Amino acid sequence: MNVGLLTGGGDCPGLNAVIRAVVRRISNAGGHCLGIIEGWRGLVRNLTTPLSVEQTDDIVGLGGTILGSSRTNPYKNPETDLIALRENFGALRLDALVVIGGDDTLGVAVRLYNDFQLPVVGIPKTIDNDLALADFSFGFDTAINVVTEAVDRLRTTALSHRRIMVVETMGRNAGWIACFAGMAVGADYILVPEVPIDLPHLVGVLTRRRAAGKKCGLVIVAEGAKFRLFRFLVRASRDLWAFLLGEGRFPRH
């Protein structure tokens, strides 16, 4: 059994750990792994490297991907790249191809299977944890730790200057990073895409906590968080700025 392995798209924590796991699994089953360099570009240009258990045993702690990556999409140049990819797939005598990537990379994998029945296995790469039927995606835990560390550093500035810090996290249309990181740092308020933003409630919470003696505030907002209505957004934004720039400013002592 000869199995190809490639990584595509943006880098993500845990990629090398996944590469190591795939190589060990294939090796234990009596097969061989062939690394495809720089994602789909490597399969188009026939750039490969052998992968063995010995070569991948110590890569767990390394960031990025030892195979390199690219955003090459062979379907953008089907007359050249797609033909070369199929020819190289056959020349390499691959029994299967394991593809580690996000929406774009796995989108190509799906089309290759649907169009040409190439034996492809996809491993989703997303720090956003936006996967059904899975508890956690690889890279998600690292993302939480990075946000937590960053917010812990901001907290001292917020406390020193009596400020409200608003921290935006990644996550696309899922609020997992904001939710978990917000709970970890003890944020005053967390905004996620799954729940429309209620700005009056947010302002009310911050106001009550200021009145109770808290000298700073932390708001964690996921990049995909949305307001219910644009008209409401305009009115509520005006109220929020009035709060932050006027009476809502924490007193200096």
Q: For 77-126, write each residue's pLDDT tens digit.
A: 999 999 999 999 999 999 999 999 988 999 999 999 999 999 999 999 98
Q: How many Cβ atoms are within 10 Å of 219's Cβ, its own excluded?
A: 19
- Mean pLDDT over the full length of the chain: 89
Q: Record the tokens describing residue 20, joined without a space.
A: 């190591």
Mark whether 102 and 158 lie in a shared domain.
no
CA distance 128 to 57: 27
Q: How many Cβ atoms are within 10 Å of 68's Cβ, its own excluded?
A: 19
Q: Record the tokens describing residue 137, joined without a space.
A: 């995606």
CA distance 43 to 29: 24
Q: How many Cβ atoms are within 10 Å of 238's Cβ, its own excluded?
A: 11
Q: Give the number of domains in the chain.
A: 2
Average pLDDT, stretch 65-71? Answer: 93
Q: What range does the domain containing 115 cover?
A: 2-124
Q: For 16-62, write each residue's pLDDT tens digit.
A: 999 999 999 999 999 999 999 999 999 999 999 999 999 999 998 88
Weakest mean pLDDT among 77-91, 166-180, 199-213, 233-247: 233-247
Q: How many Cβ atoms are within 10 Å of 14's Cβ, its own excluded?
A: 20
b/e per residue 178-208 (b: at least 16 CB within 10 A): bbbbbeebebbbbbbbeeebbbeebbeebee
pLDDT at 83: 95
Of 58, 104, 115, 128, catalytic: 128
Mark whether 213 and 238 lie in a shared domain.
yes
pTM greater than 0.85:
no
Is position 251 within any domain? no
CA distance 192 to 95: 42
Is position 195 within any domain? yes
CA distance 158 to 152: 10
CA distance 252 to 22: 57
Mark whether 111 and 172 lie in a shared domain.
no
**CATH number of the domain enclosing 84:** 3.40.50.450
At residue 137, what is the residue type? S
Picking from 124, 154, 181, the residue at the C-terminal end of a domain is 124
State yes or no: pLDDT of 198 exceeds 60.
yes
Of 57, 7, 5, 67, the closest CA to residue 31 belongs to 5
What stretches of 117-229 show up as alpha helix (H) in DSSP? 140-161, 176-185, 199-211
Active site residue 128: yes
In this prediction, residue 169 has a pLDDT band, given cuts at 50, 70 and 90, of: very high
| Residues pairing with 241 in the sheet | none
